[in-house]
Structure 1
Amino acid sequence: MKIGLELGSYTWDGGPARIGETLADTVRTADEAGFALIGVGDHLWQGPHAGGLEEPMLECFTVLGAIAAHTRNCLLGPVVAGVHLRHPALLAKMVTSLDVLSGGRAMLGLGVGWYEEEARGLGIPYPSLGERFELLEETARICHRLWGDGDEPYEGTHHRLERPIGVPANLSAPHPPIMIGGGGDRTLRLVARHADACNLYPGPDLAEKLALLRRHCEAEGRAYETIEKTCILPFDVGPDGAGCGDLADTLRGLAGQGIDLAIGILSGPDPVRDVELLAGKVLPALD
């Protein structure tokens, strides 16, 4: 099983003046240690689970561009981008730009979004859940169209593209992988139809959700094995790495259930320390 990381907080030692330096040190350390993915949460306000809007939050793709400049090997992308925040053609261009600048290391995590207070507070339209699911499918279709050949018009329920062209093309072949986050029936149907990976929470119903994904793949004529199975969970290493043993056990259990990639949310004040502990105590235990 591969291990990735998500930056879940920017409440780091040294405050805002040191965020850039801490970010660079963290991602360089993670990349050199062999973490497969560095993801970034896509919000404009910090979520209430991590302190709310009083805590610092940076724009996702700006951070990903900075990460690309300080890494050489890991995959990069939003985990996950809310489809209500950007027009799909702009989102596809942003991912292609990240892909080109990183040497072909971009991925696109997509989700229907959930932070209504953030959207309302900043004047961003926040459609109904049903409409956001429609936007999720349209966004996946438009990205595939812009990352493919041809320039035939695209007509959707919410968007119309007269000439879906993007130059330069992405470096990733055949395109940056698309991961869709969420474990509901409608979400997993869209994974089977449009995505390269799912992203689930490791709850007691994980096996049930994977079985549901398998059934949707069968219905769509898609090989279940072609979809990467990912989980996202907090990586709490504890004081002096005391939590690393339990975390390694949890990750081995997820691997046994068929998870290909575990994405750990980093939320402590010293992310460099946390990455070093994970690299020194958790990765070797998994090997």
Structure 2
Amino acid sequence: MRIGLQVGITNTLPRPAGDYLSRIAEEADQAGFATLTVPDHFSLRPESTPFLSRDKNAPAVTDFFEAWSVLAFIAARTKRIKLSTIVSGITMRYPAVLVKTADTLDALSNGRAYLGLGASPDFGADEHQRMGLPFPPAGERVARLEEVLQMAIQLWSGEDRPFEGSYYQLSSTIGAPFYLQQPHPPILIAGQGNRMLRLMAKYADLVSIGFGRGIDDMRAKLETLRGYCEVLNRPYEDIQKTTLFMAPLVHGGHVDQAALDYLQALADLGVDEVMIRYPDDPATFEQIATTVIPVVENMSVAGR
């Protein structure tokens, strides 16, 4: 099993933010974290968002650094670690531009980028309205996501033909993509519902599911994913499985055995990678790097 690192990129970062992010990225690269991910938002109100503080003294709006700019900045300061958003909602940018952005990052990072995509969460409505971005109903967002996935694959093919979708149209997809990974940058899809799981089975190289909801929920989601793979005649093992792990791994300077047992249970379900949040305490980061990562890397993943 692998451990990835999710790094917050809000306006609460210590300043200068560039120095802070450089240090985190270099430490994560050297420590052996498999992936570094950042959230892709622009500006969120706490009352509209499940994961922001609702403290009455909290700022009215939490602003985020632009995610793909941050990943490009980090790419220049690292050599090994994979890079992704978790994830880019397809309503946030015009799709062909987003694909070109991921293509460029993969080329400039020497083949370390994922194209992380999602259908945009329901809590994003306020953010979209304030940024002047359309926010269609959930069902349409999922349908749009499938078209974006189809568009990405056609753009990466370099074929000279139009893309004719119900929501998006391109006059031609001719071109010479820059990416280095083959057959293209891996597609990472995050989501929960049955329609999203079907898209994962059809298009994803990696999936992010679970979001800390527990082993039973993860087991059920993975069984649904497996079922869709069987219907589509796609090997379930072709898809890498990841999930966010929100609980602390270290308590009072000691590795939490219950947390390690939970990670082993995830590995037994076939989860390839867990994403943890960056710990603010340097001693905790050091303990994760020197103790937790070696233990987790020795956990056998079911089906691998």
Task: Name the TM-score, length of structure 2 as normaliser.
Answer: 0.86
Alignment partner of 1:164 out of 153, 173, 187? 173
Alignment partner of 1:117 out of 100, 103, 126? 126
Say which SS state the counterpart of residue 243 (structure 2) adopts.
strand
Aligned AA for 1:231? T
User: CA 1:271–1:165 in structure 2 vs 1: closer, same or farther (change >3 Å)?
Assistant: farther
Aligned residue for 1:194?
Answer: 203
Aligned residue for 2:290?
Answer: 280
User: CA 1:86–1:56 in structure 2 vs 1: closer, same or farther (change >3 Å)?
Assistant: closer
Aligned residue for 1:132?
Answer: 141
Deviations 1:124-160 (A, max 9, x none): 1111111101111011111111111412111001111
Alignment partner of 2:77 out of 70, 74, 78? 70
Say which SS state the counterpart of residue 126 (structure 2) adopts.
helix
Aligned AA for 2:2? K
Aligned residue for 2:16?
Answer: 18
Aligned AA for 2:261? D
Q: Distance in 2 between matches of 1:172 and 1:207?
A: 31
| Aligned-residue offset at 1:243 | 5.6
Q: Distance in 2 between matches of 1:274 and 1:116?
A: 36
User: CA 1:151–1:254 in structure 2 vs 1: closer, same or farther (change >3 Å)?
Assistant: same
Q: Distance in 2 between matches of 1:265 and 1:101?
A: 26
- List alignment gaps of at least 5 residues for structure 1: none
Aligned AA for 2:52? A
User: CA 1:125–1:272 in structure 2 vs 1: closer, same or farther (change >3 Å)?
Assistant: farther
Number of residue pairs matched by the alignment: 283
Q: Distance in 2 between matches of 1:3 and 1:91?
A: 26
Deviations 1:202-235 (A, max 9, x none): 4221111111111100111111111111111225
Alignment partner of 1:44 out of 42, 45, 54? 42
Contact 1:228–1:260 (CA<8 Å) still a contact in 2?
A: yes
Q: Let me know the Cα RMSD of the aligned residues.
A: 2.0
| Aligned-residue offset at 1:10 | 3.9
Larger mean CA deviation between 164-173 and 30-39 belongs to: 164-173
Aligned AA for 1:133? V
Alignment partner of 1:181 out of 187, 190, 203? 190
Alignment partner of 2:151 out of 138, 142, 155? 142
| Aligned-residue offset at 1:108 | 1.2
Could you tell me the percent identity over the aligned residues? 37
Contact 1:244–1:282 (CA<8 Å) still a contact in 2?
A: no
| Aligned-residue offset at 1:29 | 0.6
| Aligned-residue offset at 1:248 | 2.3
Aligned residue for 2:246?
Answer: 234
1:255 aligns with 2:264: no
User: CA 1:183–1:130 in structure 2 vs 1: closer, same or farther (change >3 Å)?
Assistant: same
1:57 aligns with 2:64: yes
Task: Name the TM-score, length of structure 1 as normaliser.
Answer: 0.91
Aligned AA for 1:126? F
Deviations 1:15-48 (A, max 9, x none): 3x22211111111111111111101110002563
| Aligned-residue offset at 1:274 | 4.5
Q: Distance in 1 between matches of 2:232 and 2:220?
A: 19
| Aligned-residue offset at 1:100 | 0.7
Q: Distance in 1 between matches of 2:136 and 2:31?
A: 41
| Aligned-residue offset at 1:121 | 1.8
Q: Distance in 1 between matches of 2:100 and 2:114?
A: 12
| Aligned-residue offset at 1:84 | 0.4
Aligned AA for 1:183? Q
1:35 aligns with 2:33: yes
User: CA 1:133–1:84 in structure 2 vs 1: closer, same or farther (change >3 Å)?
Assistant: same
Q: Distance in 2 between matches of 1:227 and 1:235?
A: 25
User: CA 1:249–1:18 in structure 2 vs 1: closer, same or farther (change >3 Å)?
Assistant: farther
| Aligned-residue offset at 1:240 | 4.7
Q: Distance in 1 between matches of 2:24 and 2:247?
A: 15
